[in-house]
Structures are given as C-alpha cells and as structure tokens.
C-alpha cells in the first residue's frame, strides 16, 4: 500500500506539472530486455484504481490503456481484464478513458466485445473511448529494415556485414540464391544477437504469413486484395513463397519493402476498420512514429485517413471528409482536454493545414540514416500540403519545410474548459 500511495503521488505531481494523463500497458508484446513481463502488465486492480483516484479534484487528465485482454501467460480472461480497466476508469469520475481497439489473430471477435463493453460502460456513466488505427498494423520487411526472414540463414550471415549494394550483387547470383534457399535459420543473426521471435513464427507459418504479405512497390496499396499477396504470386508461378520473398527484397536495388499487417487485416480488407471508425466512441490513434523505427512507419496515419477513407477507397464504404477531419481535430482535442484548439474559431490557437485535397497522397516509406551513431529509421513523405501553420506562422509551404519552429511545450490543464 505504501508503494502504491507513492506511485499515486508521483502521478499527481506529474499531472500538476502539466502531464496530459496516465497510461498503462498490459500486453505480452512488451517485454524487458531479458524477456520478462513488464511491471505494468502485472499491475493489480488496487494499484490502477489508486493511481486513477489521484485524478479526483483535477480539472484535466485522461486515462489510457492497451491490453491483450487475454494474455496467455497470466491466464486473464476477457471480461475479468475489461473489469480491471473499467474500475480504473470509475476511480476517476469526470475524466475520460481510452483503450486501444485492435483485431487480433488470437481472438478474431474480441474487438467487437470491446466495443460492446465500451458502449455499455459509457451508457452507465463511465465513458470509455476507443483508439482505432487507420489501417492494418504490422511490420515492414526488407534488406534495409530491422527484420527480414533470412537474418538467421548461414549464407546470409556471411554477408550481413556488407553494404546493401554488395549484398544485392551477391544475392543476385542464382547459385547463391539456390544455396540459401536450401538452408534453415539459426537462432542468432550475423552480429550474434538473437533472432527476433517473429522470425521463428514467420518461417514456421510461412504459407499463413505469405497469404498476408505484400510487396509495397511503386503503386503500393494498404488495402491490397488477396490476389496480390506473396502466396498468390508463388502459387501462380509454381514456386515457394520464400523464393518470391527473396526475389522481392532484391528489387529497387534492395530497397523494396514487404508489408505484413499482423493486426486489423485478417479478412484481407479494411471493412472491420470501417466499423471501428464509425463507432460513436472511436478516436483515430495508434499512429506509431517513435518506436520500432526500423520496422514500422505509421506516422502517416493522419494523411492516410484523409486520402484513403475520404477519397480513394474502392473496396468498401468510405467516410465523409468532414467526419475524418472532425475526428482528428475537434474530437481529439476535446478528449485530451486541449480546449484552445481543434476548431477554426476566433480566440483559438492558429494551427491550420491548408490542403490540396485532390493531390494529397503519401509516398512509399524509405529508410534514412540520420539517427545518432548511424542509426536508421523509416520515413514516409506526404504531398499535397499547401501550407502548415503553427501559432499563425507558416512552418511548411508546398510540402517544403520553411525552417520556422514556433512550436512550444504544451501542458495539460493550462486552458480552461468551455462553459
């Protein structure tokens, strides 16, 4: 109890200093460097309730959670886990809670049960909002990326230290290709580091993965049909999916990327995402741009929301442009408690995007090496922004940064709620 009280005081101190809220992660996907479960994933209901109770009396602050809801190692059941998060929300009356909404392979109907319980909680007086991704969530594979399925193959490990150009030249040799495709993966990569668990799962379930694996190419589509999958291509050519993956990664001088949506794409379309986005408690979210930067490039979600959902989608229902913009501006600002922005109104903060809607698009992700110590990350450029204005100052004009940096630290609770 003393430790929980100390944690509550730490959270309260942060909130009083301007923190926006408190978030917790309860998932098997997040591990310590030794592979152990993170403390947050094992937090008790008493701990979460006591921390949330520190919000009482504050005029700002949101709660957020991500959960598998059926974590295998802790043997949690769906309803029991949702109860924990709902009780956390109930411990902070007057404050809003959100949780991630994802279609998972382990339980393909779980996301609908989450929506049902979120609706019931909201109707009972404890609002629970749902953070929804704009498209399938997964990883990008390639010779430049952090992960690809050949990392542990003995022949690849012998050339892993070479430049991209040298690797592509060697791998283009039919004899080298035949040798490598005859091998099996080791448990360690060329630099001695363990092969990611994803690699074992990838190779052990190759046909299942290849059914949901797609080349990006120049005309990439984040809602590709089944006939464009690696498995379909392999079937049509009468070769193994691994051979198609090998050949694909050599394209564009070894810069080609393969898209593997792990979540939200089990039906090989975005119909379920449409249902999620049209839920009354939905908020656009999960646009990961600061983690796993060698395998994920999801910071383009906001632009994709406009392009795909309001204009380009051809395999199902679209969304009204006004709804998309509202979700990403006013709805999100109001949820977080930033009452000084989110609408074009006198007295509000002058943050505005001027968009050429007909020309708006995102380019294919690309790898750049601009992090400290030669670190690399995936970037995805956008086209069609006539101007981006922050606090009344133009920071981007015709897709080019001007060099202006008027942005300032934003603290929660600094703007009063509207009467």
Encode pLDDT of 346-380 as tens digits. Answer: 999 999 999 999 999 999 999 999 999 889 999 99
What percent of the chain is modeled with pLDDT above 90? 79
pLDDT-based confidence at residue 320 (cuts at 50, 70, 90): very high
The residue length of the chain stands at 419
- Report pLDDT digits (tens) over 48-96: 999 999 999 999 999 999 998 876 555 568 899 999 999 999 999 999 9
Cβ-contact 5, 46 below 8 angstroms:
no
What percent of the chain is modeled with pLDDT above 70? 98
pLDDT the model gives residue 59? 92
Rounded distance between C-alpha atoms, residue 238 and residue 229, angstroms: 14
pLDDT the model gives residue 345? 93
Rounded distance between C-alpha atoms, residue 341 and residue 16, angstroms: 21
pLDDT-based confidence at residue 200 (cuts at 50, 70, 90): confident
pLDDT-based confidence at residue 321 (cuts at 50, 70, 90): very high
Q: Which residues contact 298 (CB under 8 A, 6 or more apart)?
A: 133, 137, 286, 287, 288, 289
More confident: 390 or 37: 390
Closest CA to 242 of 285, 207, 212, 292: 207
Q: At what angle do helices 78-90 and 110-123 cross, to 10 degrees?
A: 30
Cβ-contact 41, 30 below 8 angstroms:
yes
pLDDT-based confidence at residue 212 (cuts at 50, 70, 90): very high
With a threshold of 0.95, does the pTM exceed it? no
- Report pLDDT digits (tens) over 100-142: 999 998 888 999 999 999 999 999 999 999 999 999 999 999 9
- Report pLDDT digits (tens) over 131-182: 999 999 999 999 999 999 999 999 999 999 999 999 999 999 999 999 999 9
Rounded distance between C-alpha atoms, residue 291 and residue 275, angstroms: 27
Instruction: State which H helix or E strand residue 154 sits in.
Output: helix 154-159
Residue 315: HSE in the Cβ half-sphere, 13 Å Cα cutoff: 15
Residue with the two structure tokens 């609408």:
343
Residue with the two structure tokens 């000084």:
340
Rounded distance between C-alpha atoms, residue 46 and residue 4, angstroms: 8
pLDDT the model gives residue 72? 56
């Amino acid at each position: 109890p003393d430790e929980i009280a100390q944690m509550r005081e730490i959270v309260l101190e942060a909130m009083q200093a301007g923190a926006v809220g408190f978030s917790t992660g309860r998932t098997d996907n997040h591990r310590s460097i030794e592979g152990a479960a993170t403390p947050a994933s094992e937090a008790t209901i008493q701990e979460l309730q006591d921390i949330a109770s520190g919000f009482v009396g504050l005029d700002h602050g949101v709660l957020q959670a991500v959960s598998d809801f059926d974590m295998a190692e802790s043997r949690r059941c769906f309803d029991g886990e949702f109860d924990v998060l709902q009780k956390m929300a109930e411990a902070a009356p007057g404050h809003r809670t959100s949780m991630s909404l994802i279609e998972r392979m382990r339980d393909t109907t779980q996301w609908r049960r989450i929506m049902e319980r979120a609706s019931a909680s909201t109707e009972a007086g404890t609002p629970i909002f749902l953070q929804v991704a704009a498209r399938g969530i997964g990883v990008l594979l390639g010779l430049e990326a952090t992960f690809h399925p050949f990392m542990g193959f003995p022949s690849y490990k012998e050339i892993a230290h070479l430049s991209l150009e040298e690797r592509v030249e060697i791998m283009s040799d039919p004899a080298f290709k035949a040798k490598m495709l005859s091998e099996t993966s080791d448990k360690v990569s060329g630099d001695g580091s363990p092969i990611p668990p994803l690699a074992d799962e990838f190779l052990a379930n190759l046909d299942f993965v290849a059914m949901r694996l797609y080349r990006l190419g120049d005309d990439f589509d984040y809602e590709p049909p089944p006939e464009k999958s690696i498995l379909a291509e392999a079937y049509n050519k009468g070769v193994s999916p691994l051979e198609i993956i090998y050949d694909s990664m050599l394209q564009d001088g070894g810069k080609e990327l393969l898209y593997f949506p792990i979540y939200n794409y089990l039906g090989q379309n975005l119909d379920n995402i449409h249902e999620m986005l049209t839920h009354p408690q939905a908020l656009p979210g999960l646009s990961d741009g600061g983690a796993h930067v060698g395998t994920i490039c999801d910071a383009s979600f906001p632009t994709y929301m406009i392009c795909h959902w309001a204009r380009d989608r051809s395999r199902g229902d679209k969304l009204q442009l006004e709804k998309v913009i509202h979700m990403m501006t006013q709805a999100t600002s109001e949820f977080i408690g930033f009452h000084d922005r989110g609408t074009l109104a006198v007295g509000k903060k002058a943050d505005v995007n001027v968009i050429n809607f007909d020309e708006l698009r995102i380019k294919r992700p690309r790898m750049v090496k601009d992090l400290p110590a030669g670190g690399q990350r995936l970037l995805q450029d956008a086209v069609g922004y006539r101007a981006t204005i922050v606090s009344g100052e133009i920071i981007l004009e015709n897709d080019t940064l001007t060099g202006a940096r008027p942005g300032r630290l934003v603290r929660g609770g600094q703007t009063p709620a509207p009467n």
